[in-house]
Structure 1
Amino acid sequence: MDSKKVTIKKQELARRKRILLWTVFVILINFLQVYFKIWEFQVIAMIGTVYALYRVVVFDNDKNRYSSKYYDLAGQPLSRHHKKM
């Protein structure tokens, strides 16, 4: 077995921490929904879960051209290195 140490970029490490925080958030609000069984908690859990999925899949994903964090409205990267045509 190869025992090379794998280095992770700071940006990737930050992305993994954000995903972990959103996962903990979703688990917590869904636990509250199951525990209290009040319709308000069910609505909050549903909205919170959908928002967390949006943050992970669309907003924080640098490969998704619909991400307003990495791309403009035309779908062009916001990178300083982007060449204008």
Structure 2
Amino acid sequence: MSTTSRTRSGLTGAQAARRLAGEGPNTLPEGRRTPAGVLLIREMVHFFALLLWAAAGLALLAGMPRPALAIAVVVLNGAFAFVQE
């Protein structure tokens, strides 16, 4: 399409009708929604969260409940990430 046939106000009605008939409406397809529970679980079991869970478990096995509780902030982090997403 040459620049001389374009107008500054956009497509003509005939051009728009031709494009609508040939290409269809200018809409995006709706994406699949992931259930909220699945999103929350994903936040709790990604690689770094699993490392923190393991560290908390080892701290509990070693008889150190306070560090285990501090390490378990993975739950809080996962909740914040879930809300942001």
TM bucket, shorter chain: 0.3 to 0.5
Name the TM-score, length of structure 1 as normaliser. Answer: 0.35
Name the TM-score, length of structure 2 as normaliser. Answer: 0.35
Q: Which of the two has higher C-alpha Rg?
A: 2
Counting helix residues as a fraction of each chain, which structure ranks higher?
A: 2
